[in-house]
């Protein structure tokens, strides 16, 4: 099995060709794939598979799989996979944007940013695409950090950021998409205490510095006046949300995307509620603690 790689159009992530999942993946090839993932942060495999078994085979090349903490989304018959779909009715919340009901829209975030041990990565597999919307984008926070000026790097070096679980887009503090909740959701979400994470964090494997921003979950900078905190966080969010740090993928059925959740943020554009989209996903277990749990009554200021 010979791998061929080339950068994706914006230079964020790489596409890998030459992978076959029919007969398993040799140890040497799995090692090469891990090196590519570690270096690039995001890997696209095109025209590969819609089989959940083959998704599991590929996923295990990159680490130990773990069930998603929210049981509503777990895939029947596959404890280590989740099923993201509105087939048979949406499982998650539906929002209207400018009056148009939309399913699956999620702003920029890292997975489990509201926990002290986030997952290391994940793989998404497109089973059935939609004709309108349904794109997914990734943002490289390591490159975004590298592009900061020295004064800003010094200012943020030792700051902590407060994160909270956000189950309602209406509660987002930064870059709120102004969606209006439509109907009720069947998803049941656990309670999570607020946590503090370093705003600048060194990747545990590569040593590269990354920005812990996560607009979906960020609430403020610990110990800083709210106005100053909000201004700084908004400036950093505006900085990272630039085209040179982003790759947005227009899915085809059989595509699989792998990303490093320590380094990459991602977002989903969502799609019309009357179009069915089916995506399968695996999650790579993390083994590094990031930050600390805050007292429930401690605020960011």
Return the domain boundaries, the chain. Answer: 4-287
Structure-token pair, residue 193: 């205490």
Residue 255, helix vs strand vs coil: coil
Residue 300 has pLDDT above 50, yes or no: no
Residue 2 has pLDDT above 50, yes or no: yes
Radius of gyration (Cα) for the chain, nearest Å?
Answer: 19
User: Comparing C-alpha atoms, which of 102, 127, 107 is closest to residue 183?
Assistant: 102
Structure-token pair, residue 3: 């791998």
**pLDDT, mean of residues 219-235:** 98
In which band, very low, low, confident or very high, does the pLDDT at 186 lie, cut at 50, 70 and 90? low
Say if residues 112 and 189 touch (Cβ distance below 8 Å): no
Provide the CATH topology of domain 4-287. Double-stranded beta-helix (3.60.130)
Say if residues 292 and 198 touch (Cβ distance below 8 Å): no
Residue 229, helix vs strand vs coil: helix
pLDDT for position 297:
46
pLDDT digits (tens, 9 = 90+) for 31-62: 999 999 999 999 999 989 899 999 999 999 99
CA atoms of 213 and 198, how far apart (whole Å):
10
In which band, very low, low, confident or very high, does the pLDDT at 228 lie, cut at 50, 70 and 90? very high
In which band, very low, low, confident or very high, does the pLDDT at 82 lie, cut at 50, 70 and 90? very high
Residue 187 has pLDDT above 80, yes or no: no
């Amino acid at each position: 099995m010979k791998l061929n790689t080339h950068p994706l159009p914006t230079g964020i992530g790489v596409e890998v060709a030459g992978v076959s999942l029919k007969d398993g993946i040799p140890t040497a090839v799995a090692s090469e794939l891990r090196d590519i993932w570690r270096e690039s942060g995001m890997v696209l495999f095109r025209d590969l598979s819609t089989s959940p078994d083959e998704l599991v085979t590929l996923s295990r090349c990159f680490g130990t799989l773990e069930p998603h903490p929210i049981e509503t989304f777990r895939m029947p018959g596959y404890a280590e996979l989740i099923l993201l779909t509105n087939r048979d009715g949406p499982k998650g919340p539906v929002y209207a944007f400018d009056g148009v009901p939309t399913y699956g829209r999620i702003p920029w975030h890292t997975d489990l940013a509201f926990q002290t041990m986030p997952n290391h990565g994940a793989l998404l597999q497109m089973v059935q695409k939609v004709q309108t919307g349904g794109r997914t984008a990734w943002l490289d926070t390591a490159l975004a950090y590298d592009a900061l000026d020295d004064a800003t790097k010094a200012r943020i070096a030792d700051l902590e950021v407060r994160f909270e679980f956000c189950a309602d887009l209406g509660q987002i503090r930064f870059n709120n998409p102004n969606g209006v909740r439509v109907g009720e959701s069947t998803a049941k979400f656990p309670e999570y205490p607020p946590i503090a994470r370093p705003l600048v964090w060194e990747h545990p494997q590569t040593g590269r510095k990354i920005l812990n921003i996560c607009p979906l979950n960020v609430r403020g900078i610990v110990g800083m006046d709210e106005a100053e905190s909000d201004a700084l966080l908004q400036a950093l969010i505006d900085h990272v949300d630039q085209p040179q740090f982003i790759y947005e993928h227009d899915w085809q059925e059989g595509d699989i995307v792998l990303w490093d959740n320590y380094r990459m943020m991602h977002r989903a554009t969502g799609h019309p509620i009357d179009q069915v989209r089916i995506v399968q996903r695996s999650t790579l277990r993390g083994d590094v603690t990031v930050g600390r749990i805050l007292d429930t009554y401690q605020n960011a200021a």
